[in-house]
Structure 1
Amino acid sequence: MKSGFISFFLFLLISYQIQAQQEYHQHEYCSKALTAKKFYPFNHIRSSLLTADYDLTYYRFEWEIDPAVKAIKGTVTPYFKVLSDGFTEINFDFSRALIVDSIVFHGNKLSFSQPSSYVLTIQLPGALTTQSIDSLSITYHGTPPSGGFGSFIQSSHGGEPILWTLSEPFGAQDWWPCKNGLDDKIDSIDILITTPEKYKAAGNGSLEVEKKLGNGWALYHWKHRYPITPYLVAFAVTNYESYTDEVVFHDGSTMPMLNFVYPENLNEAKTGTADNVAALQFFDSLFVAYPFKKEKYGHAQFGWGGGMEHQTMSFVSNFDWGLLAHELAHQWFGDFVTCGNWEDIWLNEGFATYLEGLTRERFESDFAWQNWKSAKVNSITSNNGGSVKVDNTSSVNRIFSGRLSYNKGSYLLHMLRWKLGDEMFFKGLRNYLTAHSYRYAVTENLQQHLENISGQSLQEFFDDWFKGQGFPNYKIIWDQEADRLLIKIEQTPSHESVSFFEMPVPVRLKGQGKEMMVRLENTEINQIFVVNPDFMVESVEFDPDLWLVAKSSVLQEDIILSGTESFEGSQISVYPNPTKDLLTVKMDINEYDSMEISIINTEGKKIITSPVISTSHNFQVAHLPSGIYYINVQQYGKQVFSSKFIKE
């Protein structure tokens, strides 16, 4: 081969590898959305009104599971607190595909009905007292359906059977009687699984009992004494190998990281989970203490193409650094504090995606961190629309949109970090976690904590970036005059739902072997800034560190800021210039509806603003410090004139 062709081939190969890496980062944790397409649309979502009259305090699960058979058999005993008068029946979300053998209350069998596909109604012998705590036991068996991501799956690996559960978002009711909403965490649970003794069962909490029963079966008892949302209750059964990594916290205390993995992947798993210890220590110190420290963290391998953040025991398909970091992050954002409705799923997935990115920043190279950010921005801006707020909570695919709930959600956080600064941002997140510990939260809660700690209103930010769609397209125009640099920022939003994105815009100036970073508070359309670098600028770079979701172009051209200018056949004059006390703006115009005049300092801050009500305006400027100022005229929100004047 000729050397030129070889070079070209290598260029194509490297380009392909970079693109593949970006696509990998873009989609590796979006598997929930991708996998959901394999299953039927979840169309049996129901109101939580039927289950609103009681509070779950405890569950005891006793199941018999053979991973070679897609079936479940056992008894579930919920304890509940009565919240209303006249409590004569209790309802659970539960699939009619399963057969209820009996329901026992205080030693007596109760009558029940299943009036719809996912409602189990139990008649009590009499009205229970408000605030009383009681219990009943439901014995059932059958083959659960598989909604959502496949809530109850039997499969195989390496010639061995495996059975696992994955209930997010709505699948718990497919295989156990529950309250399937986002309004009631179970205070504590016990999971007891009997299975053929060649298999092991992984679950939530601490492993209290692991013993052979002498009849070819073994018992696994998992005890969990922290509040847990129903979709995070889970188990997996197969021929696992298990081992423990030790986590040492900054105060010297320790905790086990318990891992259940396929024998054929044992060596790979040991490398991956050992690395994940550092990520756990990092999150523990950056946010609040690991929320389930008295029990454990761990991993159970399963056959689904991604990961699932089951409380204290993430289910993972492989042991890639990023996947493990993402699921680990959910223990804080998703498990410890859980989104209070599905339109706020970004509080789970956006956070976990961003925390995975933070591990790139903390432990990997600058290139890896930059590549991670670039992949996210490219994903988000691949479509002009789409909000972080979920606009269709009946669609599993929309809830778990990789581009919106994961990537744009993560970048919403990255932009908040840029806007507020590291100290205020991370302190606000710690306050949010502490205030809503072991409970549910919504976006307004996060906004409130960040506003309280920073003293800033973030309403416009959340209106634009959480509720609104799209992103800004920036045009940066610059022009250097002697020792000052003029920078004009023009902005066109990609979607009509947002008229203007108000954001601080980072720009890097380079020239004569020097560089300078400037932060331009872009608060209005066609805004002009004056910067005074101590060197001749040769190039201007928009957002080199990728703080913003945006597309951009940078141009060098004249920015005219002189005394008399015209627009649409009209003329505006500013005099005297320089001035000491009085400045006159005279306009030869016929139409000045929705027009305003502003005096702006060199930092881009409006000092004086006045509506245009006549053809001549006088401004008293004696009180202004000496220096350079600008007259800015806008009509219908668009800049039509800008002129410099000097205050002596």
Structure 2
Amino acid sequence: MRPYVPRRSPLRALCGALLVLACAASGCSGDADSEEGAAPARSGAAGAGDPLFPKLGNGGYDVTHYGLTLDYAPDDNHLKGTVQITARATEPLSSFNLDLDGLTVREATVDGRAATFTRGGTELTVTPKSPLSKGRIFKASIRYDGTPKTIHDPDGSIEGWIETDDGAVGLGQPTGSMAWFPGNHHPSDKAAYDVDVTVPIDYTAVSNGELESREVTGERTTYRWHTGEPMASYLATLAVGQFEVTDTVTDGGLPQYNAVDYDEVDASRKVSEQVSEIIDWQSRRFGPYPFSSTGAIVDRNPDVGYALETQTKPYFGAAPDELLLVHELAHQWFGNSVTPRSWQDMWLNEGFATYAEWLWEADHDGRSADEIFQDFWDGTDDQSEGIWAFPPGSPPSAEVVSDSPVYGRGAMTLHKVREAVGDDTFFSIVRTWLKRHRHGNADTKAFIALCEKESGKDLSEIFDVWLYGKGKPDRP
């Protein structure tokens, strides 16, 4: 994510087979307590224990796949949906929770059998007919409908389900995905997705991954999208509107799907070419692009004051400038492929994406990274306001997790590491980090350990001062 600011310049079958193999390997059949001495089943935790969002996500299971079947009527902003969640119980479960904000649940089943459910706040508690044993692979299906909510965050931004002039979009950072489908909405639980969306025939529905099919039935069209690589739910999106679509490939041969609101077409003429150029440049800098496709969604959505790194297709509420594209596409490596274990490690997303802007500018006849660092220090860069408010490695509350220290001072931390270890070692660290944690989760502790191991240096002073120190450090 980055706020808009002025600047100077056939896989489904394979997934099923893998689940069968996983189930066989783990011995996951049967109910809890079926073996003598087995641990008693209990309710899964209503929260993943995130330091900043303790009620976000849930405990007791790990999701491997979401299958969403959605029907959206833009005229009255009404959504009907069914989600089938394939998951593995990580402990014996008598019940489990899903995150859902608003909407009406009509039915719940577990492994095809009717399940009871209750609602409390943003928690949907599902109780299957029989307890689930540890290691068991199960399928939970939830049928729901209603008018999805727009979530108003404490910092004044909006997320969740947001209406546009000609449709709507689902945006999920940090909690908004629970406004349009129930799930385990914490970044530590990544999964594959299949999203089938039916909309009126004169609308286009765009989601993550690759478009598998487009089928017209009467006056409605069903779009089927598939995301095979693991994805955190806050990166899932669904944009419904009237778009000009270009389906092409980058210069490097990567499938590229761009959807541009007709009102933004003239201002977005260069987007396809820019995406191709940026992806190829970032692949040389950071290592292979981590997903099977790329692209962008350019909407006309003045109510959203930020761009979001939705997986494979970053979302923009208006035609983006070049550096904004650089930032959101860099997130495909930093944040989307390598996802933080908790929201406290947000700087690993935003610090790297901001530093990618610095590198792009330096490689394209702009300021050097040293000069940008100094402009941040002096407060003359457009994005430097407020960067000393708190240490980026430990945001004090959920309300400020996306504030400027996480971006600008996060990037400054990376630059100080680069100065200390040298260019060759620094970029080797970056590529090793991305390769080691590809499609997984990682935290700051692991990043610091890697930096010190690869460089052979004690870097504690740099991280203590720039990442965790309070206030503005002494002049560098």
- TM-score range (shorter-chain normalised) is 0.7 to 0.9
What CA distance in whole angstroms lies between the structure 1 residues aligned with 2:243 and 2:77?
A: 18
- Measured at CA, do residues 351 and 88 of structure 1 come closer, stay the same or move farther in structure 2, by a change above 3 Å? same
2:88 alignment partner in structure 1: 81
Question: CA shift at 1:377, angstroms?
Answer: 4.7
- Measured at CA, do residues 307 and 119 of structure 1 come closer, stay the same or move farther in structure 2, by a change above 3 Å? same
Question: CA shift at 1:360, angstroms?
Answer: 1.0
Q: Following superposition of structure 1 onto structure 2, how do residues 179-194 of structure 1 map, counting pairs within 5 Å?
A: 179-186=184-191, 188-194=192-198
Structure 1, unpaired ranges of 5+: 1-22, 29-43, 475-547, 549-648
3-state secondary structure, aligned to 1:25: coil
What CA distance in whole angstroms lies between the structure 1 residues aligned with 2:386 and 2:185?
A: 35
Question: CA shift at 1:452, angstroms?
Answer: 1.1
3-state secondary structure, aligned to 1:359: helix
1:47 alignment partner in structure 2: 55
Structure 2, unpaired ranges of 5+: 10-51
- Asked if 1:58 is matched to 2:65, the reply is yes
2:32 alignment partner in structure 1: none
- Measured at CA, do residues 345 and 201 of structure 1 come closer, stay the same or move farther in structure 2, by a change above 3 Å? same
2:299 alignment partner in structure 1: 301
Paired amino acid for 1:267: D
Q: Which moved more, 1:464-473 or 1:55-64?
A: 464-473
Question: CA shift at 1:328, angstroms?
Answer: 0.2
> Which whole-Å deviations, capped at 9, do the CAs of 1:442-474 have from their partners, x for residues lacking one?
111111111111100111211111111223344
1:227 alignment partner in structure 2: 230
2:246 alignment partner in structure 1: 243
1:135 alignment partner in structure 2: 139
- Measured at CA, do residues 204 and 376 of structure 1 come closer, stay the same or move farther in structure 2, by a change above 3 Å? farther
Using structure 1 for the length normalisation, give the TM-score: 0.61
Higher-strand-fraction structure: 1
What CA distance in whole angstroms lies between the structure 1 residues aligned with 2:74 and 2:369?
A: 40
2:168 alignment partner in structure 1: 163
What CA distance in whole angstroms lies between the structure 1 residues aligned with 2:293 and 2:347?
A: 27
What CA distance in whole angstroms lies between the structure 1 residues aligned with 2:65 and 2:226?
A: 11
- Asked if 1:387 is matched to 2:391, the reply is yes
Paired amino acid for 1:315: Y
Paired amino acid for 2:162: I
What CA distance in whole angstroms lies between the structure 1 residues aligned with 2:369 and 2:98?
A: 47
> Which whole-Å deviations, capped at 9, do the CAs of 1:380-424 have from their partners, x for residues lacking one?
4767652112332331xx11112x011111111122111211101
- Asked if 1:341 is matched to 2:337, the reply is no
Question: CA shift at 1:105, angstroms?
Answer: 3.1
What CA distance in whole angstroms lies between the structure 2 residues aligned with 1:470 and 1:192?
A: 49
Paired amino acid for 1:119: E
2:425 alignment partner in structure 1: 424
1:462 alignment partner in structure 2: 463
What CA distance in whole angstroms lies between the structure 2 residues aligned with 1:383 and 1:263?
A: 37
- Higher-Rg structure is 1
2:273 alignment partner in structure 1: 274
1:88 and 1:127 in contact (8 A); partners too: yes
What CA distance in whole angstroms lies between the structure 1 residues aligned with 2:386 and 2:87?
A: 48
- Measured at CA, do residues 179 and 79 of structure 1 come closer, stay the same or move farther in structure 2, by a change above 3 Å? same
Using structure 2 for the length normalisation, give the TM-score: 0.83
> Which whole-Å deviations, capped at 9, do the CAs of 1:78-118 have from their partners, x for residues lacking one?
01111112x221211112x311111133443221111x211
Q: Identify the structure with bigger relative contact order (alpha carbons < 8 Å, sequence gap 6+).
A: 2
What CA distance in whole angstroms lies between the structure 2 residues aligned with 1:133 and 1:256?
A: 33
Q: Following superposition of structure 1 onto structure 2, how do residues 544-563 of structure 1 map, counting pairs within 5 Å?
A: 548=476
1:257 alignment partner in structure 2: 256
What CA distance in whole angstroms lies between the structure 2 residues aligned with 1:24 and 1:131?
A: 51
1:151 alignment partner in structure 2: 160
Paired amino acid for 2:224: H
Paired amino acid for 1:89: S
- Measured at CA, do residues 385 and 366 of structure 1 come closer, stay the same or move farther in structure 2, by a change above 3 Å? closer
1:342 and 1:390 in contact (8 A); partners too: no
What CA distance in whole angstroms lies between the structure 2 residues aligned with 1:364 and 1:144?
A: 46
What CA distance in whole angstroms lies between the structure 1 residues aligned with 2:293 and 2:205?
A: 17
What CA distance in whole angstroms lies between the structure 1 residues aligned with 2:211 and 2:351?
A: 31
What CA distance in whole angstroms lies between the structure 2 residues aligned with 1:335 and 1:236?
A: 19
Q: Please, what is the CA RMSD of the aligned residues? A: 2.4
2:62 and 2:189 in contact (8 A); partners too: yes
Q: Following superposition of structure 1 onto structure 2, how do residues 399-548 of structure 1 map, counting pairs within 5 Å?
A: 399-402=401-404, 404-474=405-475, 548=476
2:7 alignment partner in structure 1: 25
1:99 alignment partner in structure 2: 104
